[in-house]
Structure 1
């Protein structure tokens, strides 16, 4: 089994002010602490203040020598041209109102979209500086949201290994189809999990270049979106570079690919929704609709 190098990042992009999506920086630090026992090499991009907290957390688990922290106090200079482009596109109110849920951060917040865009760039930079090699995973700093899916932080005291093929590995929560990109942007349909993406060193720079190309493509049409749409656009252009893995939940990749010992929490309503979705995909529409109705009832009862 091949050991995975993990790259992640945390920057203050004003999350605590996002109505309906409020999370402050300290919450993300706690989310990181939940999984920070992982014995893998971890490369973290962050600001000066958070850098010290990251070092303290990893040091408390005896993992100082498996931790690299890269300090960047102004991420907007990483690719200033793209950041300005995103700001320009999202200054158009029509581009925001075009979306199904215009109050979601990916619809109006250029700094959020820019941060999501930078994921492969961070990894390409870590490779260039010699901090990451072998099979490399992007993993969101707030992965698992502090126990939302995986319930026992002590179980993260392990070395994540898995023999991935030398491709870009995406984890799909919906079957990939041919929906036009403008409709994906409008409806905000999500096909793949952005929280974990795995690839060998030579393909991260390729993915970064594809991201840049497709951000410019979206902008030329007066649209902007986050990494989940960019991943679909990259896959459609170069499908031979990718391997797609269907998963049942956004957080499943760790358990399904090397972390089988991890304890998870499933709400019954989520199981019902997944069953209904599978029935719909098999064109058992009446049973699927009954399942979705059951899901709605279970969801209301759980509140």
Structure 2
């Protein structure tokens, strides 16, 4: 019986010099420390990096904490390959007209001044699509997961592999607010307001789908990026994801993250609220085994 609950994880690491961003400092070592926790999962893992040095470092971590785990590391220098996109983004961020639409209190946030930070978040869908098109993804389900998602040691408590029967014909995304509190977006301009005001409902930390639907979603995402840039609008992944949720609502399935265990977003809910240990999954798995599906 084919295990349709297995998930290939795609992630990436790119050094942006964030250790020097006042109020948003984070060193490369911090990212790798957090990746050590993610790398323990027995899932197939595909990691995109900029150079051989980081490829070697990723493989070293993965081999130490998950020996025998299937790992593909792809060298892709997005800063070189997508420099033209970066320039478009940075020109918008530097434009006084754009800045006037962003609340002053948000001007210090990196997504409102650093084009590379914006672009590295938009590249998520590019590398996920690339990994599928290159034939690197062997499972029916594929997930983007941020390289530094696991901030705490107990993040993957009781999990050595992440499995779940996500619907393959939907893009499974995570919301930090219940759907009943979502704004009723009537026009495209309503989605622009969310981008200007950093009003987040769906997070870009992780999203999951079947291979075919994921490619479709990534295509829509990259098209949306170019469309919005042409209109003088830019945002990181979360703004674009809300735009797509407004435009293609039936493509999505929401998974509410629940209440946080600690201050901040409840990112542990990505894995802890939907996994193979949940009662609903176990029941469905029994039915599948009973009927040999």
Structure-2-length-normalised TM-score:
0.81
Q: 1:62, 1:232 → 2: CA distance?
A: 35
Compare 231-240 and 218-227 and name the one that shifted more.
218-227
Q: 1:91, 1:229 → 2: CA distance?
A: 19
Unaligned runs of 5+ in 2: 259-265, 279-293
Q: 2:126, 2:27 → 1: CA distance?
A: 24
Q: Check whether the contact 1:83–1:114 (CA below 8 A) recurs between aligned residues.
A: yes
Residue 91 of structure 1: CA displacement?
Answer: 2.4
- Pairwise mapping of residues 172-183 of structure 1 onto structure 2 (< 5 A)? 172-174=175-177, 175=179, 176-179=182-185, 180-183=190-193
Unaligned runs of 5+ in 1: 262-303
1:57 maps to 61
What CA deviation, in whole Å up to 9, does each residue of 1:53-96 have, x standing for no partner?
11111111243451111112x31244444223212212214423
Compare 185-194 and 250-259 and name the one that shifted more.
250-259
2:164 maps to 162
1:102 maps to 107
> Aligned pairs, how many?
256
Q: Check whether the contact 2:118–2:236 (CA below 8 A) recurs between aligned residues.
A: yes
Q: Which has the higher helix share?
A: 1
1:7 maps to 10
Q: Paired residue for 2:246, among 236, 243, 253?
A: 236
Residue 154 of structure 1: CA displacement?
Answer: 7.2
* RMSD over aligned Cα atoms: 2.0
Residue 9 of structure 1: CA displacement?
Answer: 0.2
2:125 maps to 120
Q: 2:270, 2:112 → 1: CA distance?
A: 26
Structure-1-length-normalised TM-score:
0.78
SS of alignment partner, residue 243 of structure 1: strand
2:39 maps to 36
Q: 2:20, 2:92 → 1: CA distance?
A: 21
Q: Check whether the contact 2:132–2:215 (CA below 8 A) recurs between aligned residues.
A: no
Q: Paired residue for 1:142, among 130, 148, 153?
A: 148
- Pairwise mapping of residues 199-218 of structure 1 onto structure 2 (< 5 A)? 199-218=209-228
2:48 maps to 45
Residue 253 of structure 1: CA displacement?
Answer: 1.5
